[in-house]
Amino acid sequence: MGQAMLKGWLDAGFSSIQVLENYPSDTLSSLAIELNPADIITDENQCVILAVKPQNYREVLDEHLANIHPEAMVVSILAGIPLSALQNALPGRRIVRAMPNTPATIGQGLTALCSGSDISAMHKDFATRLVQAVGEVVWVDDEAMIDAVTAVSGSGPAYLFHFVEALTAAAIDVGFAPDMAEIFARKTITGSAALLENSKEDAAQLRENVTSKGGTTQAALDVLMDEPGLRSLMREAVRAAKKRSEDLSKI
């Protein structure tokens, strides 16, 4: 995710980007950045993006704390690590917590941001502009909402991908060859998502537009919308993801 956001910043024209990575990928090494520079820019305007595995963040901060200015802004994309833990590990720094999702890799992300009360309007504006380079931004006032964001938009792409898997399997079941089933399932979903993106009508209305009373779509929806159906399964799935996010923040 950090690499995807980095590409967005480069495309948006952000400069003076330095990256510290002990094991850089070939892709990272090929980007127009200062990779593991000998001289690190450390001043009050510094913005540090913390994009490491959550279980390793204390080790990383212990190694690089001297390179983070006491008045720097630190933007964390670590899942499950609350502001309080980051503030304890980075005393005095302005902390912003971000929850992006994987569509950020193509500039279509949705990222929720929250921060401590000490964040200035200037820092908040800069954090917004940073994340807008990879998609849309929503600020939330209550950090507890980050767990809900994780369950809906953070994990949401996986739900959709699984739906495509299920639709592909169903297509095979009714006679499609596997490769043709994949094409039909994938293009149906991507085309429908584009229609949803470009329509002024909400999802419920678009569903109704496709559905004729007593027709084939209605027959399928009678199954999906019955109880227990897709709505209740999705509610249960999102609640499970939210609980797991809450549990991780307590570890």
54 labeled part of a ligand binding site? yes
137 labeled part of a ligand binding site? no
Both tokens of 72, joined, read 């720097």
Query: For residue 99, which of 241, 251, 233 has the smallest C-alpha distance?
Result: 241
51 labeled part of a ligand binding site? yes
Query: For residue 156, which of 101, 113, 109 has the smallest C-alpha distance?
Result: 101
Query: For residue 101, which of 195, 241, 231 has the smallest C-alpha distance?
Result: 241
DSSP-derived 3-state class of residue 71 = coil
DSSP secondary structure code for residue 154 in this structure:
I
> Can you tell me the distance from the alpha carbon of 68 to that of 132, in angstroms, rounded to the nearest whole number?
24
DSSP-derived 3-state class of residue 139 = strand
Could you tell me which residues are beta bridge partners of residue 94? 73
> Can you tell me the distance from the alpha carbon of 158 to that of 190, in angstroms, rounded to the nearest whole number?
14
Annotated binding site: 51-54
Annotated binding site for NADP(+): 51-54
